[in-house]
Amino acid sequence: MARSVRSLKATTSFLLVSLAASLLFFGTVAGAASASACSPWSIEGSPNVGTGNNDLLAVAASSTCDAWAVGDYVNGSANQTLAEHWDGSSWSVVSSLDVGAGNNFFAGVSDISASNAWAVGHYVSGTTDQTLVEHWNGKTWSIVASPNMGTGNNGLSGIVAVSATNIWAVGGFENGSAENTLVEHWNGKVWSIKASPNVGTGNNFLSSVSADSATDAWAVGTHNNAAITQTLIEHWNGKAWSVTASPDVGTSNNMLQGVAATSAANAWAVGHYYNGSLYQTLVEHWNGKAWSVKTSPNSGPSNNVLDGVAFASSTNGWAVGSFINGSVANTLVEHWNGKAWSVESSPNVGTYTQTLEAVTATSATDVWSVGFYYTGTANQTLIEHCC
């Protein structure tokens, strides 16, 4: 694609590091911890496949004893899907499928129950990206047919289940020279493409989707306005998807990576914006009438980005990402207490770059976040827990 789903989903930490000189040692995480229902954040043991890169890009949980984290790992020269499962006591790799001998990636996951989970992403067929959808039935993962638009690249980056027979997946596809939004729906029998709007004639892409009911769903991402990337927010009202006005900070690039909706009058979106010299966190809120930018902190004097957001309740939310500490990216966790966002202390592994890509909460005392860290030779899975 113009931007592959996988590269867009995991690009921000590498973007931050590219602005730094090289990988160096780092110090402690900056910022004071906020008061939250679960504390502290700790690193959970997570497996890796082979000796190449292993990255986790999405996480979802249906209970304290059932959670999934997905991404990809390098098997020789090709990327392969990676699915890991939490059974209440440990994380383990569960065999997932790949299409063909080329690259396969998971970018989103939804966990409905112990016997019903979905993962989405894309695979490379020849020189073209195609949508990838897999289903967990409690015993095995299987590939489920998913449509593509046109003859160009297609990919899915996020998924949410309203129910077992009402599921949304979002991403993008190439329409000639530009990228357009892609929205697909599961009705309990088949996946089908649903009409979704685009802004202007430049690239449009949806990174994440969330829903609190059958008539209230949100998808967020970006669109290009001339040479500037700006926020894109779309809403499902039970009948159609439409663009909802979303603010941008300043006149430089703005990007939304994650969204979480708790009610018709409460939804949050996170990402980052460029202030002319640095990337800074971007948090936006829906109050039932309009989206507005909310104050969000940054760690240290350098680049900060947010990639994922989740809420246990309207007064207990989490956003995760990374910030530059010296010349490497460190994990970034922020907490909403009902009144303000604040930086929460989060651990790091080793002495190189690491990032948190996604977060999920089953309750105020059970929150998971996933990503990856660099060992000096390869990326390894990173899973953190707050309970």
Chain segment 202-253, per-residue pLDDT in tens: 999 999 999 999 999 999 999 998 889 999 999 999 999 999 999 999 989 9
Alpha helical stretches, state H, the chain: 5-9, 11-18
Query: What are residue 340's phi and psi, to 5 degrees?
Result: -155, 155
What are the tokens at 376? 């000096």
CA–CA gap between residue 114 and residue 366 (Å, rounded): 17
Averaged pLDDT for residues 278-289: 98
Residue 277 makes CB contacts below 8 A (sequence gap 6+) with none
Kindly state the percentage of the chain with pLDDT values over 90: 88
pLDDT of res. 187 = 98
pLDDT of res. 43 = 98
pTM (2 d.p.): 0.94
Residue 13 makes CB contacts below 8 A (sequence gap 6+) with 305, 321, 322, 329, 353, 354, 355, 371
CATH entry 2.120.10 includes domain 5-40+118-359:
yes
pLDDT tens, 250-274?
989 999 999 999 999 999 999 999 9
pLDDT of res. 39 = 86
pLDDT of res. 226 = 86
Q: Is the pLDDT of residue 199 over 60?
A: yes
pLDDT of res. 79 = 98
Q: Is the pLDDT of residue 34 over 50?
A: no
Contact status, residue 209 vs residue 182, Cβ threshold 8 Å: no
Q: Is the pLDDT of residue 58 over 90?
A: yes
Which of 11-15, 34-38, 88-92, 173-177 is predicted least confidently? 11-15
Q: Is the pLDDT of residue 8 over 80?
A: no
Average pLDDT over the chain, rounded to an integer: 92
Q: Is the pLDDT of residue 121 over 90?
A: yes
Please tell me the total number of residues recorded for the chain in this structure.
387
pLDDT of res. 35 = 54
Per DSSP, 53 falls in state: -
Q: Is the pLDDT of residue 64 over 90?
A: yes
Domain boundaries defined on the chain: 5-40+118-359
Contact status, residue 179 vs residue 130, Cβ threshold 8 Å: no
